[in-house]
Amino acid sequence: MSKRRNRRWLAVLITLLVIAGGIIGYTYVNLQPVKPSDEKVKFTIEPGTGTSGIADLLEDKGLIRNALLFKGYLKLKSEGGHFQAGVYELNPGMTYQEIIQKLNKGDVVKDEMVRFTIPEGYTVKQMAEKLSAEGIVNADEFLKLAKNPTGIQSGLLSSIPQDSKVMYRLEGYLFPETYELKKGSTASDIIARMLDETEKKLSTIPDYQAKLKRQGLSLNELMTVASLVEREVVVDQERPLVAGVIYNRIKQDMKLEIDATVQYLLEKPKERLLNSDLRKVDSPYNSYLYKGLPPGPIASPSLKSIEAALTPESSDYLFYVTKKDGSQEHLFARTFAEHEANIKKSKASAK
């Protein structure tokens, strides 16, 4: 009887060992990486997905052999609490630890980006044409939003007036810069980014609000003066001086008579304006016909032009004319007689 009981216990023990060995073997095999491959597997972990869902996803994508064992491994190692959402690309054959490291770091697929540059002094029309030519936006859609920025979220918008006299409400407020955005960004996305850049650049000016108040300017007036400076000046050190001339003429109740305001109104800018052109277009932008500033900016000014408009150089000058010697500098005058003399000097220096 004793021998029979011993044989029975031995049989049970052998059975248990076989089962245990099978479990150990199964576990060992399923803990091993799947067959290696150079072909990456792409998958997305949505925000809020738990470790159980992630494990099931990894098994479904063929990156692990068994989701249940992966969950157990995560629990044993106290991992999974820092997995990050996003789009991933992993190679089959990675170990558990390699997969965990990628998910913890949030080593996601980088978005394909589009890069473009908006030169200083560009109008919104020029921007629309450039971005359209580069296949980034539809020009008509861009201009429509520049005129009426419906749905665009930007803290700067509340400071930009809605004026029926303004050709484009956002003219002058889309900062000239090199941008990098996700490929497929809409015209609205791009405009919002450019408005934010303008707000950011303004905030870098020391004592910006105090200077604006000291000059007695609204943001629109500041950006308008800055846009005139941008279109009139090439040599940086002259920007504050030209800004000062603009303010001097306004104080003297003189028309600004700035050619760039007329160019802004033309379908295609001319290399050289004729006297007949200067008074041909009846518009509040035409500074040869109307006193004071145009109703809004005529281009996107650089930070240097904005700073010049904020801190103009004090002088008695009321006139300036471009030298024709190729230097792109100006001759400044206090009286019209001096101005006429400078015009002759300029013509005489022409190369």
For the whole model, what pTM was predicted? 0.76
Q: Take residue 329 and report the two structure tokens written for it.
A: 């500098």
**Which amino acid, one-letter code, is at 327?**
S
Residue pLDDT tens, the chain, 351 long: 566 666 666 665 666 655 555 555 555 555 678 788 888 899 999 999 999 999 999 999 999 988 988 898 898 889 988 999 999 999 999 999 999 999 999 988 888 889 999 999 999 999 999 999 999 999 999 999 999 999 898 889 989 999 889 999 999 999 999 999 998 899 999 999 999 999 999 999 999 999 999 999 999 999 999 999 999 999 999 999 999 999 999 999 999 999 999 999 987 777 777 777 777 888 999 999 999 999 999 999 999 999 999 999 999 999 999 998 888 899 999 999 999 999 999 888 776
Residue 123: alpha-carbon gap to chain centroid: 17
> Based on the structure, what is the number of domains in the chain?
4
- 3 in a domain, yes or no? no
Same domain, 175 and 224: no
For residue 311, give both structure tokens. Answer: 């801190």
> Would you state the structure tokens that stand for residue 113, as one six-digit string?
């980006």
Least Cα distance to 297 among 145, 305, 255, 289 occurs for 305
Give residue 166's domain range: 113-203
- Whether 194 and 255 map to the same domain: the answer is no
End residue of a domain, out of 72, 88, 110: 110
Burial 128-154 (b: 16+ CB within 10 A, else e): bebbbeeebbebeebbebbeebeebeb
Question: Are the beta carbons of 123 and 300 closer than 8 angstroms?
Answer: yes
Contact 112, 293 (CB under 8 A): no
Residue 24 in domain: no
